[in-house]
Amino acid sequence: MPFKSLDELRAACLDLAAGSDAAANAVARRQDTLTKPQGSLGRLETIAAWLARWQGRDMPQLDRVKVFVFAGNHGITAQGVSAFPSEVTVQMVANFAGGGAAINQLARIAGAELDVIPLDLDRPTGDFTQEPAMDDEAFLAAVSAGYGAVMKDLDLVCFGEMGIGNTTPAAAISAALFGGGAEKWTGRGTGVDDAGLVRKITAIEAGLNRHAEALADPLKIAAALGGRELAAIFGATLAARHHGVPVLLDGFVCTAAAAPLARLHPAGLAHTLAAHVSAESGHRRLLEALGLPPLLDLGMRLGEGSGACLAVNVVRSALECHARMASFAEAGVSEK
C-alpha cells in the first residue's frame, strides 16, 4: 500500500510537476504552420498541446488508452437515496465482465482497454449520517488501490465508477468543498422521485452536520463523506499526475472524487480535462467551481466512464489533425 497515513498522502498531493512547457510550445508552433487559419480548430488545437504538456512529448501519441471503472457499495443507501437496490452494483460489474454495458461498447469504438476494479463490494461503506463512510485505514486502502492501477506506460486514461447511491456522496463532497448547502448540489441520480430527492438532501445535510469538524480538510472530507470507488478515482488521478499521464474526467461522481486534489493544490487537476457535463444538476456547478469547461454536452448521466470514453474520440481527432495535416510549405498553399 503506497500511502500509510493521511500526512503521507497529503505530501504526495503537494508534490506535483507542472508538465512540459517545451512540449506544449512545440505543438503550438506546429499548429501555426498547418494549412488552416491560426486557431481555427479551436479546442482541438489546445487539446493537442495539453496532451504534449502532460506526456512530455513534442509529438503526443495515443497508442495505449485505458478506461478504469472502479466499483463500490455505500451504506448511505439505507437512507433511501437511490431508485435502485445496492445489489445492482454487483450485477453491473458482472455485466461489464460480460461485455453488455454501454462502457464496453464505447471503449471498443474508442480503441481503449477497459479495466473494471471492484472494491470490497460485500462490505459497504458506513452510513455517513451515522458514522464516517471510511476510517483512515479504509480510505487509504481505496486511494492506494486506485493509485496502483495507473501505470507509467499509458498515454491517456479515463476514470469511471459504478456504485448504487454514489451521487449522494458526490453531492456531499461537493457541498463540503465548495459550500452552498446540500440542495445546491443534489440531483435525482438514478431517477429518484420527489420524496427520494428530499431524502437525499436530508441525508447530505445530516452528514455535513455530523462531520463538521472534518470540513476544513479535503482528505478528511473524502473519507468521511465519500466511497471506496471515489477514493480510488482520487488515487488514480494523483498517480496519473505523478506518472505524466493525461486524464479525461467523466461525470459528477468522478469529478467530485477528483475535486479534493484541486483544493489541496491550486493546479491539482491541470492534467485533466472534463470530458462532458452530465445531466446531474450539480455537475455543471462543480465544473464551474473547478474551472473545467466540458468538451461535450449530450445530456448523459450514466456514469461508468461513458462520457469520458466518448470524448477519447475527440482527443484522437485533435491528435490526428495535429500529426497528419500538411504545413503550408508542404502543401504548396499560400499563407496570408
Q: Which of 8, 9, 16, 77 is nearest to 222 (CA)?
A: 9
How many other CB atoms sit within 10 Å of the CB of residue 291? 10
| DSSP H or E stretch at residue 160 | strand 156-162
Residue type, 87: E
Cα gap 126→207, rounded to integer Å: 11
Q: Which of 239, 247, 253 is nearest to 273 (CA)?
A: 247
Residues 6 or more apart from 216 whose CB is under 8 A from it?
none
At which residue does the C-alpha cell 455530523 appear? 210
- Among the listed residues 137, 205, 304, 335, the single catalytic one is 304
Measured at the CA of 330, the angle between CA 326 and CA 332, to 5 degrees, comes to: 110
Q: Which of 325, 299, 324 is nearest to 310 (CA)?
A: 299
- Grid cell listed for 148: 496502483
Cα gap 269→262, rounded to integer Å: 6
Burial class from Cβ neighbours inside 10 Å (0-12, 13-18, 19+) for residue 296 reads middle
How many other CB atoms sit within 10 Å of the CB of residue 127? 18
Residue type, 54: W
Judge whether 304 counts as a catalytic residue. yes
Q: Residues with catalytic annotation?
A: 304
